[in-house]
Amino acid sequence: MTGTMDALVLHAIGDARFESVPIPSVPLGWVRVRIGYCGVCGSDLPRIFVKGTYHYPTICGHEFAGTVETCGEGVDDLNPGDAVAVFPLLWCGKCGPCERGQYVQCENYDYLGSRRDGGFAQFICAPRQNLLNVPAGVSLEEASMIEPAAVSLHAVRRGRCSVDDTVVVFGAGPIGLMAAQWARIMGASRVIVFDLDPRKLELAKSIGFTDVHNSRNADPLEVIGSLTGGAGAHLCIEAVGVPATAVQSLQAARRGGRVVLLGNPSGEVSIPTALVSQLMRREVDIFGTWNSTYSARGGDDDWSAALRAMDSKALDVRPLISHEVPLSESWDILQKMQARDGYFCKVLIHP
């Protein structure tokens, strides 16, 4: 296929334009995908409006799914029309982490939607090894959310969530609510969710969480202490990236507890000396987490597990979708999200 396609193209920080660009060609071993839906990630906003990308022009967007349009030479196990989700990290295959299958730790990775063109467009090309077949029971809307579902699963797995744990999630955005669902799936006896936005808290209640609290009205540490007999949480997941909640997550962990830092930090975090001493004495484990595991050969990696959970309906991401917006209107919605002009949960853009 030759010609042009619609895309939202970032030309500079804060300067994105809906325009026509050439349809990407299909290299050996790659596949051209017709985008069905592309989600807006929390990291897209600072990338577009504050930090910028690695070069210009760039098409952002890394959470997407669609259908196979054309297969490059050497790809014979997919057909046009097949539904696929795309792992956006392109690993080098030569460094130590890649040789161990730890692709997200690749020392020379590329990335669809930040380092090279992504999914805010009609078409995208990706290596066959980055494509995951989507079963008929999973819609393209749901499939476009496999990336954040896998990221949240990775965080909960990093925190060694287990049966009967008390888990606290700070932040009821899409990632936080998926993490809360994963904790419930893994058998946590109590999942406590905090946020400042009443609409997000109502959403948390609508998907079955009862220990839902507004941090503006109730001190999280007092709530957690009351619900745990003063012991604290087995696992705290900081899923919003706010300095105050980062500190609270450390304060709320019980003796031998775990803390996972999941949210992208929005400012400097200062940890009081007394809290550092408490963390040492309580022997609290603190985990960083980034991205998710993916296997080109299948298995129990985060992406395959997330897809299976969606297919079985154990993980329900559909209630998290607050907006479905045409690509032609994507710049307007992104500006409103950046200005916090309205309520947004998961926003999906479709060509």
Q: What is the CATH number of the domain that holds 25?
A: 3.90.180.10
Q: How far apart are the first and last CA of the chain?
A: 17
Q: Mark whether 159 and 215 lie in a shared domain.
A: yes
How many domains, the chain?
2
Same domain, 13 and 97: yes
- Give the pLDDT score at 146: 97
Q: Domain boundary residue among 288, 308, 326?
A: 288
**37: three-class secondary structure by DSSP:** strand
CA distances from 253 to 19, 89, 156, 247, 298 (A): 49, 33, 15, 11, 35
Taking 70 as the pLDDT cut, the residues of the chain under it are 1
Q: Is 306 part of any domain?
A: no
334 with 246, same domain: the answer is no
Helix (H, G, I), strand (E, B) or coil at 284: coil
Q: What number of other Cβ atoms are within 10 A of residue 296's Cβ?
A: 17
Query: H or E element: which one contains 36?
Result: strand 30-39
Residues 322 and 230 in one domain: no
Q: Is residue 294 situated within a structural domain?
A: no
* Residues whose CB is less than 8 angstroms from the CB of residue 258 and which lie 6 or more positions away in sequence, other chains included: 159, 160, 234, 235, 236, 284, 285, 286, 287
Instruction: Give SS3 for 340.
Output: coil
Burial of residue 107 (CB within 10 Å: 0-12, 13-18, 19+) is exposed
Domain contains 301: no
Last residue of a domain, one of 269, 288, 307: 288
The answer as to whether 300 is a domain residue is no
User: What is the model's pLDDT at position 300?
Assistant: 85
State the residue range of the domain holding 19.
4-145+317-350
Residue 307 in any domain: the answer is no
Task: Output the CA–CA distances (angstroms, integers) from residue 54 to 39, 90, 299, in the order listed.
Answer: 20, 15, 33
Asked whether residue 140 falls in the same domain as residue 158, the answer is no
Residues 204 and 259 placed together within one structural domain of the fold: yes
For β-strands 83-86 and 63-71, DSSP reports them as antiparallel
Q: In this structure, is residue 236 part of a structural domain?
A: yes
Same domain, 107 and 49: yes
- From 246, 269, 288, the end of a domain falls on 288
Structural domain contains residue 231:
yes
Query: How much is the pLDDT for 159?
Result: 97
Task: Say how far apart CA 322 and CA 246 lie, in whole Å.
Answer: 26
Residues 326, 273: one domain?
A: no
244-288 pLDDT per residue, tens:
999 999 999 999 999 999 998 888 999 999 999 999 999 999 999
Residue 295 lies in a domain: no
One domain, residues 159 and 188:
yes
Please report, as a single letter, which amino acid is at residue 264. Answer: N
> Cα separation of 192 and 30, whole Å?
43
Domain with 237 in it: what CATH number?
Answer: 3.40.50.720
> Residues near 97 by Cβ (< 8 Å), separated by ≥ 6?
103, 105, 106, 107
